[in-house]
Every structure is written in structure tokens, then in C-alpha cells.
Structure 1
Amino acid sequence: MSTFDAAPSALIVHAHPEPRSFSSAQMTTAARSLGEAGYRVDILDLYAEGWAPVLARDEFPPVDGPFKPQAEQLRAVEDGTLDAAVREHLDRLLAADLLVLSFPMWWFSLPAVLKGWVDRVFVMGGVFGGAHGLFDQAALAGKRAMLLFTTGGSGESFRPGGAFGPMDDFLFHIHRGMLEFVGFEVLDPVITYGPARMTDEERAAALEAVGQAVVRATRKPIAAPRSG
């Protein structure tokens, strides 16, 4: 096996409509840092490729009776009829050792296009359910995932007693309900708070910090998740 074949792989799924945004610069910085750390980096830019976020009935063969999306996902996996774009993204997801979701935090959660990517690509029968279980029995068990994102609010506003409350409260449904649910070990998130309020010099320093934090996060998992 060659050194290249043995290198770990990272899939970055990026969701920002502006390529000149700080969020996009942050993603590029993370990709470069992971590459320098020995990762083979694959980037999915959802806005650039015009990803359709809606899990729609018409991407599956016609069915009699009520449309049940997860049942149809499972059937499509078993029959080999999964939508071609979904199949491509699913294959890239399954091939990666590390998943990085890159986005601006909108309404305290994922942008719609990224949530839609999860809806369509975290396929029942492909990453959980069917031949797979949940959590440590799911298809992505043994792989790792992390969040890389920006906020509009300051770091102080996302602390206990701050205007919004602890950041962990907002991330639980993503960490536990999406990533750990399909088997991922979730790593520390890398967050830049309020880059729009920074000077150019502060943004440059923040990007440098992001590069270091991403590599550091891949070496240390977060604490055990809360239950319930």
C-alpha cells in the first residue's frame, strides 16, 4: 500500500452562498491545514453545485399508498435505484474518515441547504437502519465528524448566563441527533464568533487560529454526550 493510499481522508461539506465570505475562507483554511496534516481532502460546496435540499417524492420510483421517505430510501438502497446525485455524495461520505460540516450558524442551526444534505444523504439503509443499527452499530461507526462554523453573536453571548445561553445547547441536536446517531465520534467544534465585527487584522488572526484548531480537534474527541 502506498503512503497516499494509507493517508486518512476528510470530506468537507460547505454551505455558504458567498465564496468571498469569511465562512468560505475559513473552510479553505481548514482544508489546507488538514492537507498539511496528511489528510486527503474532498470538498463538497453545496451552493456552488446547486444542491437540491428537498427530500422529494419524485426522486424515488412511484409507489402505491402514502409516501414514507425513509422506507423509500431503504428500498432504493436495496434495489439500486437511489438518486444518482445522492448516491455520489453517499459514496463520498462513506469513503471519508473525517466529515467536516462547514457553515454559518443561521437561526441557531444549520442553513437549510446543509440540513437538506443530511436529509437526503444520511440515507436509511445506507448509513443507519436496514443492515445497520444506530449509534455505535451504524455504518459510520469508527469514523469522526466535526463542525466548523461562524456566528453572528459574540462568544460571550453563547456562554452560560449570556444572551443566548451555552453553545452546547444549540449543538446537541446536530452532535447527537445527526452525527452520533449514524455512528460518528464527534470532535470539538471549531467556531469563529462574530467575524463580521472584526477588523481585517483580527480576521486574519482568526483564520490562522482556525487552521491550528482544526488539526488540534482531530486529535481529541469531545466529552461523552449528554443523554436525553
Structure 2
Amino acid sequence: MSGASHRPPRTLIVLAHPEPRAFTAAWAGATAAACRALGQGVTVSDLYAAGFDPAERAAHYPGRAGRFDVMAEQDRAAAEGRLPGDVAAELARIAAADRVIFHFPLWWFAPPAMLKGWCERVLVHGVAHASRRRFDTGPYRGKTALFCVTTGASAAESGPDGREGDSRLLLWPLAQTLRYCGFAVKRPVLVHGVHGFHRGAARAALEARLERVLRDQQAVIAGFEARPALRFNADAEFDADGRLRRGAESVTPFIRHR
């Protein structure tokens, strides 16, 4: 962990859910409480509560002229110290953190648009990545991410043979995004069957199960370092064209030998 050998780790919680009374928000609160109970520093970015704008657009860069090229404009704004204030604040929180824990639901087989937009705006070209600073040499190497995720579908439906699709694979694009910037990514924590249509005994069972998840979150945080990490192919395992070398192991269905 970057710079954390002599002090407790510092955690940034990124919460992406529009309802402050939702389980996702309570779970993020349990993460924050667990960090504090363990003497760890913690900061929370509640994206909906903050009114974060997830859409990257030219209006975020007043005074610019000509065609709006997102990567070029981000790079110039970063170099000139004129990044939008909300983006600069998020970047400062990431810079100060050793761990980033994301709390969000899966909606339509992907994280909410709010979180996708956070990646597009906050993972700024020239700060979080650059052509020669990505993957193994990404600026955020030494930092670690964890996803705490809810689904509305059951665990069976969300498994490798489930009709909803494997939730772990649905999370791969977000994991690869962070990997691109240098993060290590821990195996996600998934809680299934979370929705508001349960009734009677089914609702009581859900509430009891979610209470256990909240109680168990301190153990998740206490065991953070020992939690297995997702595997990614190293830069050296790709050839000059960016293709997986013969003999290199394919560690994800998304990157495999032809």
C-alpha cells in the first residue's frame, strides 16, 4: 500500500445511489463506521447528494475555443490548473486515499450512469492516465479499489450460468477502467436480491440478511489486505500490437487467445 506502512490506511468511499435511505447508502455508512472503528481515516463522496454532474461537456471548461476534444481539453486544463472544481475535489480525495471503496447497485447490467460519468470526468487524462502511464505504470499504482455492489436478481440468476449474466463479469469494465489507471482491484462484495418488491416473510428475511451484511462489514474492512485481488495480465504479456502473447495465460474471458 502506497505510503501506508507507518500509518493506518486512508479510505475514500464513493457512493452512487440516489436514495439516502437505501441499503446501499446504509452499507456505505457501515464501511465508514468500520474504518473509523479501526482507526482508519475515511472520506465519503456521495455523488448524488453532492449534485455531481456525470456528463462531460464543453461547458465545464469556460474560455476554451475550437472543437471540444475531451482528452486534449482535460490534459490542458490539468496542466494549467483550471480543472472544474468538482473534478479537482474528487482528484484530491483520490490522491489522499490508499483505498477507494465504491458502493453502488447494478442497474441494467452495469453500474449507474452516475458512476460511469464519474469515471469519465474524474479520471482525467494527464492526471489519472496518459499514453505512457497506464496499466502497470498507471499513476494510481499502489492504490487499491473494492466494489460493494447490490443486484436485484437472486444469487442463482447472477451466477456464471444465471439468466441475468455473471455479475462478476458485468463488473469487469469498471475494474479494467481502474486497472488502466494503475489501481489494484479486490474481489467484489456482492449482495443479491435487493429490491423493494419483497412482501411478508420474504421482506423480513431480506431485512434480516441485510442487517447481517451491515454487521459483517467491519470484518470485510479488517480483512481488506487479505482479500484476494482480481487478476489482470501484465503489460509484458502483450506484444507490440497490444495482443496477448502466445504462452501468456488468459486470466479473463475479455482478453483471450484467438
TM-score by length of 2: 0.80
Structure 1 residues 99-138: aligned runs within 5 Å? 99-129=100-130, 133-138=133-138
Q: Does 1:215 align with 2:216?
A: no
Quick check: 1:103–1:150 contact (8 Å CA) kept in 2?
A: yes
Deviation at 1:15, TM superposition (A): 1.1
Runs of 4+ aligned structure 1 residues displaced above 6 Å come to none
Greater helix percent: which structure?
A: 1
Q: Secondary structure at the match of 1:158?
A: coil
How does 1:3-22 map onto structure 2 within 5 Å?
Answer: 6-22=7-23
> Which runs of 5 or more residues in structure 1 are unaligned?
none
Displacement of 1:195 in angstroms is 2.8
Structure 1 residue 192 corresponds to structure 2 residue 199: no
Contact 1:189 1:217 (C-alpha < 8 Å) held by counterparts: no
Q: 1:27-176, aligned counterparts within 5 Å?
A: 27-129=28-130, 133-176=133-176
What residue in structure 2 maps to residue 181 of structure 1?
Answer: 180
- Deviation for aligned residue 1:83: 1.1
Partners of 1:214 and 1:165 lie apart in 2 by 28
Query: Alignment partner of 2:88: what SS?
Result: helix
Cα distance in 2 for residues equivalent to 1:186 and 1:83? 27
- 95-104 or 36-45: bigger deviation: 36-45
Q: What amino acid is aligned across from residue 28 of structure 2 in structure 1?
A: M
Task: Provide the aligned C-alpha RMSD in A.
Answer: 1.9
Q: CA deviation at 1:61?
A: 4.0
| Aligned sequence identity (%) | 33
* CA distance 1:214–1:165, change in 2 (3 Å): farther
Deviates more, 1:206-215 or 1:156-165: 206-215
Name stretches of at least 5 consecutive residues in structure 2 with no aligned partner.
233-251
TM-aligned CA deviation for residue 80 of structure 1: 1.1
Q: CA–CA distance in 2 between the matches of 1:63 and 1:207? A: 47
Native 8 Å contact 1:188 1:217 kept in 2: no
TM-score (norm 1): 0.90
Aligned partners of 1:223, 1:93: CA distance in 2, in Å? 20
2: CA distance, partners of 1:213 / 1:8: 14
Give me the whole-angstrom Cα distance separating, in 1, the residues matched to 2:82 and 2:75: 10
Q: Give the match for residue 212 of structure 2.
A: 205
Say if 1:44 and 1:223 are closer, same or farther in 2 by CA, change over 3 A.
closer
Which protein has the larger Cα radius of gyration, Structure 1 or Structure 2? 2
Secondary structure at the residue paired with 1:168?
Answer: helix
Equivalent position amino acid for 1:189 in 2: P
User: In the TM superposition, what whole-angstrom CA distance separates every residue of 1:25-46 from its partner, at most 9, and x where no partner exists?
Assistant: 1111111112223320100111
Distance across 2 between alignment mates of 1:23 and 1:223:
23
Q: CA 1:217/1:194 → structure 2, altered by over 3 Å: closer, same or farther?
A: farther
Q: Report the Cα distance in structure 1 between the residues aligned to 2:128 and 2:230, rounded to whole angstroms.
A: 24
